[in-house]
A and B are shown apart, each in its own frame.
Chain A
Amino acid sequence: MQAVEELPPKLKNTVELFQSVQDPRTKYEQLLYYGRKLNPLGNEFKTRENKVEGCVSQVWVRAYLDDSKNVWFEADSDAVLTKGLAALLVEGLSGNSPPEIVKISPDFIHIMGLNQSLSPSRNNGFLNMFKLMQRKALQLYIESEKSEDQKELRSLGSNGSSVEAQQIEVSEKPSESADVKSHENEMGFTVLSERGERIIEKLERELVPIELEVEDVSYQHAGHMGAKGEGGETHFNLRIVSDKFEGKSLIKRHRLVYDLLKEELDSGLHALSIVAKTPSEN
C-alpha cells in the first residue's frame, strides 16, 4: 500500500487532516466545507467527456495544464457530499505534474476513513472521479508532448526528412504480454519479468547508459486503470544516465525513451516514470 509520505504535499495534508478527525459527523462537515469552497464549474465544461461514470449523482471534472505543464482541476456535482469528495481531489491533485498524478495509488481513499470502498463498481463515485482525473492528466501530458514535437519541428524547419510525431496510444487494451510474473530467485531478490528484461535490453542497446535502473512498480497500481496486464508489467520506474541525452530538453529525452519502448507501450505497458540525466548532470 502506498505510504502517505509518498503522496504529493497538498494531497498528503488533506489525507492527514481527515485521518486526524475521528468523529464521522465532523468528517462529513469537513467534507461539506471543502465542497463549499470549490470554484464553480462553467456549464460549458459539463460535457460527456468530463462526466464521471458510475456516480449516482452527477459529477463533472475538468483538467487543464498551466505554463509549467502542471495539471489543474475543476469539478462540480449536484450532490453536496460528492461535491466535497471532488473538492478534496481537486485541491489535493492540482498543481502537480502528470507523472506525479499518475503514480498515485488510490489507497489514500481508504486511509481517509470516509467509508468509500475501493472496489471499481458502478456506484463507486470517488474511485471513478480519481481515475478520471488521472486519465485526464495523462491525456494532457501526451497531447503536450505531441505539440512540443510539432513546435520543435516547426522551429527546426522542414527539410524533407519529416519525423512523424508519434502518437502514443495508451489505451486500455488488454495486455498481450507474456504470462510471466516477477519472481524471486533463490537468493530472494525479485527478478524482473520478461517485459522488464526487454526494457533493459532495448535501453542498453540504444542509449548505452553508464547507469540504468529499471523497477517494476506495477503492484502499486494493481486494481486501478491501466493495470490490466497479468502479474504486473504495467508500470515501471526508469533511471537512465546516458550521454545520448546531451543537448536534449527534458521532454525530448522522455520522448526518446518512449519511442524506444513503443512496442511495450502498445502491448500493455501503461506508464513510465523516467529520470533521464546526462553523465555531467548525474
Chain B
Amino acid sequence: MVILLILVQSSHIKGKLVEYNLQEVNGSRLVYLDNAATSQKPSLVLDCLRNYYESFNSNVHRGIHHLSAKATDEYELARQKVATFINASESREIVFTRNATEAINLVAYSWGLSNLKSGDEILLTIAEHHSAIVPWQFVAQKTGAVLKFVTLTEEEVPDVEQLKSLILKKTKIVVLHHVSNALGSFLAIGDIVQWAHDVGAKVLVDACQSVPHLPVNVQELDADFLVASSHKMCGPTGIGFLYGKSKLLSSMPPFLGGGEMIADVFLDHSTYAEPPSRFEAGTPAIGEAIGLGAAVDYLSGIGMQNIHEYGLELGVYLYDSLQALPNVRIYGPAPSETVKRAPLCAFNVENIHPTDIATFLDQQHGVAIRSGHHCAQPLHRFLGVNASARASLHFYNTKDDVDRFIHALKDTISFFNSFQ
C-alpha cells in the first residue's frame, strides 16, 4: 500500500536552495537512490510542459499561424540551449531524438552502415551500456565489421593502455562512456579522442551519466558524436539528443524517413533536408524538447561545476559509508585524490542476493535502489556476478538520504543473515 504524503526537503548546494517533493512509500519516507536510472523533475520543468500544452501547443516548422510560430521558436530555442549547455559550436549540431539509445542507433544505422565494411573495427569497452553495444552488433552483422572490447584493470576501471593499443588503422569508430553507470569511473575522453583521430577513427561518447552531473564541453573533448537523455538530467522522458560535428552530420544519409526530413518528394524518390532536420522525421516531442530546455536552464542556474563538486563529495560519503559495512563489495575504483568517482555505487553483499536486498529496502524502509545488471550484462559477466545492487545519487540527495540508506541496509543485512 502506498500512502502519499507530500513533504518538502531542501538541500543546499554551494548556497543554492534546492527543494524536492517527497512521498511516503510503504509507510516510510521515500529515499530515492535510483538516479542513474532516471532523475526527478523540478517544478520549473513541469510548469514549462504544462505551459506549452496550455498556451502554444502547435506543430512546429510547418505552420504560418501565431501558435505554430511560437512553438517553433521555443523548440529551436531549446535546441540552442542544449547546444550552449555542451558548448557545441552551433545549434544545428544538435539533433533531437527520443533518447540516447535512439541517438546511438541513428549513428549506427546512418553513419555506421554507410561507412563500415568487412574487416573494419569498432572499439568499445566491456562496461558499455547495452544501448551502446547492441546497435553496433547489428551494424557488425550487416557490414562484416568486427567488435573489439577493452577490459578492466585490477582497479576495475577500463584499461586505458589496452584501449590505446587497440586503436589501429582498422579502427573506424570508438564508442565509449564518459562516466560508467555501474563502476562510477571516469574516462579521459580528451586523450582517447586524440589517439582515435590520429588513426582517422571517429569517437562516439555516451554522456548519459556525465551531462547531468558535470560540465561537458564537446569542443574541448573534440568528440565526433555525443549522446545524452533528457530524463536523466531533470528533463522529461521521450526526448534526448545526438551531438554531431556539422560536417559529419552533413555527410550522413537519413535514418528515419518521413515528413520534415525531406526537401522535395516525388513518387519514386525524394531529396533530403540539411541536418538537423534530416534526422528529425515526423512530429517531434515538442513540449518535451522545450521541457528539456527548461531543465538545462534549471541546471545552469545551479551551476554544473557546483553540481559536480557536490556530487563528488556526496559520492565519497556514499562510498565510504557503504565500504564500512562488513561483507560489502563495491565495484569500480576507490575514490582518491587522483581517481574521481561518480556519486553511485554498484555493490554486492556476501551471501545475500541483490534482489532480496532491493526488495526489503523498498518494502520495509521506502529506500529505492536498483537490482539487476543495470543494462550491463557483459560487465557483470566479467566481474563474475549475475547481478548487483546499485544506489545512485543526484544533486538533490543529501547526506541524510545516504545515512537512511545505510541504516536501512544494515537492518536488511541482519534480517537476511539471521536466516542463513
Contact = CB atoms under 8 A, between A and B. Distances in A.
A78 B353 contact: yes
Contacts of A115: 1, 26, 363
Interface string B1-29: 10000000000000000000000001000
Contacts of A78: 353, 386
A36 B387 contact: no
Contact of A81 (B1, B355, B387): B355
Majority secondary structure, A binding face: helix
A57 B419 contact: no
A80 B372 contact: no
A202 B353 CA distance: 54
Given A36-B419, A80-B419, A57 B353 contact: yes
Interface in B362-420: 363-364, 371-372, 386-387, 415-416, 419
A82 interface: yes
Contacts of A79: 353-356
A235 B211 CA distance: 53
A174 interface: no
Interface string B104-129: 00000000000000000000000000
Interface residues of B, number: 18
A56 B387 contact: yes
B419 A81 contact: no
A29 B415 CA distance: 9
B371 A56 contact: yes
A58 B364 CA distance: 23
B363 A57 contact: no
B387 A57 contact: yes
Contact of A56 (B1, B355, B364): B355
A199 interface: no
A24 B364 contact: yes
A58 B372 CA distance: 11
Given A56-B355, A56-B372, A57-B355, A81 B360 contact: yes
B181 to A, nearest CB: 17
A32 interface: yes
A80 B353 CA distance: 7
Contacts of A36: 419
Contacts of A25: 364, 415
Contacts, number: 44
B359 interface: yes
B360 A82 contact: no
Interface string A111-133: 00001000000000000000000
Given A36-B419, A80-B416, A28 B387 contact: no
Contacts of B1: 115
Contacts of A80: 352-353, 356, 416, 419
B363 A24 contact: yes
A135 to B, nearest CB: 23
Contacts of B354: 79
B360 A28 contact: yes
A29 B414 CA distance: 12
B196 to A, nearest CB: 36
B189 to A, nearest CB: 32
A36 B26 CA distance: 26
A56 B386 CA distance: 10
Interface in B145-179: none
A84 B356 CA distance: 11
Given A32-B416, A78-B386, 15 more contacts: A24-B364, A28-B363, A36-B419, A56-B372, A57-B355, A57-B387, A79-B353, A79-B355, A80-B356, A80-B416, A81-B353, A81-B360, A82-B356, A115-B1, A115-B363
